[in-house]
């Protein structure tokens, strides 16, 4: 496996991330809360406590403290010095924006899609993930898949309507720079996009699509009363009077047709909602894929 200059990659990656992070932000819809240059108040307080220092406002963070936090919490912890140039930057940016575990899952899913990784999608950089990444012959394609996974995740967040434009601009820049670095090029200049600095966490996921309406009609939810059963009961009550008048006959036919329509529509809606639930779970990496023969 090739050995990469992790210190050099960290040094050139950090300014790119800081460009996207901007300065101080504290948007009410941002789950990160008060944040300075990508470092939240919570993360800064934890860093100060671990260093034996009293807590202070994140807006007072120094460049030395900033670099130390980024290196320890978002670079070293994910063993990014083991990843190829470009790939390490892309994962690094995801670590800062959505958390290390989520960003590593995008890497693992991308490697899995390329047929190189059979381990658990657990968000942990282990030997299996590192070996799989080292076996990639086309890091351009790997980066494209990582960004594809990341975009699907972002679109599944309730906060996408607020920050989506900034996020999409950010990941487009990250992809362009990452692919350029992966091929040995310098890469394009990037710029700050308002909203792109907002944290994109799993806690902001949209609620799962509900099948309640379809269940109420078909009994899929386990209830004893459904619209379909009500129509069937009405039909049974009218059946003894069938043939006594055209009105009764037409009502029975109407109930039969109505029951068929309700049943078909309800099952169709339920199938569609189930598919949406599966797509949501996949985008948010809620389905854990494991293989006991591989390790992370």
Same domain, 267 and 126: no
Query: Which strands sit side by side in the sheet containing 24-25, from one edge to the other?
Result: 24-25, 35-36, 39-40
Q: Per the structure, how many domains does the chain have? A: 2
The more confidently predicted of residues 244 and 268 is 244
What CATH number has the domain bearing residue 134? 1.20.141.10
How confident is the model at residue 268, as a pLDDT?
58
Average pLDDT, the chain: 86
- Indicate the pTM of the whole model: 0.77
Answer with the one of 174, 204, 234 that is the final residue of a domain.
204
Separation CA 225–CA 223 (nearest Å)? 6
Answer with the one of 204, 236, 257 that is the final residue of a domain.
204
The distance in angstroms from the start CA to the end CA of the chain is 16
pLDDT tens readout for residues 26-44: 999 999 999 999 999 999 9
Same domain, 102 and 85: yes
Separation CA 109–CA 259 (nearest Å)? 44
- Residue 291 maps to a domain: no
Same domain, 163 and 250: no
HSE (CB half, 13 Å, CA atoms) of 139? 22
Range of the domain at 53: 6-204
pLDDT tens readout for residues 3-33: 678 789 999 999 999 999 999 999 999 999 9
Whole-angstrom CA distances from 43 to 32, 39, 58, 72, 164 are 10, 6, 9, 12, 24
Whole-angstrom CA distances from 15 to 18, 89, 192, 273, 290 are 5, 11, 12, 43, 36
Contact 80, 63 (CB under 8 A): no
């Amino acid at each position: 496996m090739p050995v990469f200059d992790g210190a050099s990659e960290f040094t050139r990656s950090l300014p790119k991330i800081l460009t996207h992070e901007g300065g101080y932000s504290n948007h009410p819809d941002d789950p990160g809360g008060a944040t300075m240059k990508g470092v939240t108040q919570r993360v800064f307080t934890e860093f100060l406590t671990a260093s034996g220092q009293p807590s202070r406002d994140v807006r007072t963070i120094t460049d030395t403290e900033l670099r130390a936090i980024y290196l320890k919490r978002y670079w070293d912890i994910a063993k990014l010095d083991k990843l190829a140039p470009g790939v390490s930057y892309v994962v690094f940016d995801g670590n800062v924006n959505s958390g290390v575990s989520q960003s590593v899952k995008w890497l693992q899913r991308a490697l899995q899609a390329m047929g190189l990784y059979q381990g658990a999608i657990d968000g942990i950089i282990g030997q299996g993930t590192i070996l799989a990444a080292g076996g990639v012959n086309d890091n351009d394609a790997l980066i494209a898949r990582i960004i594809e996974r990341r975009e699907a995740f972002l679109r599944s967040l309730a906060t996408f309507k607020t920050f989506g434009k900034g996020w999409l601009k950010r990941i487009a820049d990250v992809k362009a720079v990452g692919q350029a670095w992966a091929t040995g090029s310098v890469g394009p200049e990037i710029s700050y996009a308002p909203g792109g600095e907002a944290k994109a966490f799993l806690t902001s996921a949209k609620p799962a699509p509900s099948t309640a309406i379809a269940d109420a009609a078909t009994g899929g939810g386990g209830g004893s009363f459904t619209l379909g059963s009500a129509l069937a009961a009405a039909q049974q009550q009218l059946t003894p009077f069938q043939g006594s008048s055209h009105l009764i006959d037409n009502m029975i036919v109407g109930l039969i047709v109505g029951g068929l329509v309700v049943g078909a529509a309800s099952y169709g809606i339920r199938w569609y909602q189930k598919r949406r639930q599966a797509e949501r779970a996949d985008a948010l990496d809620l389905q854990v894929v494991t293989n006991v023969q591989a390790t992370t």
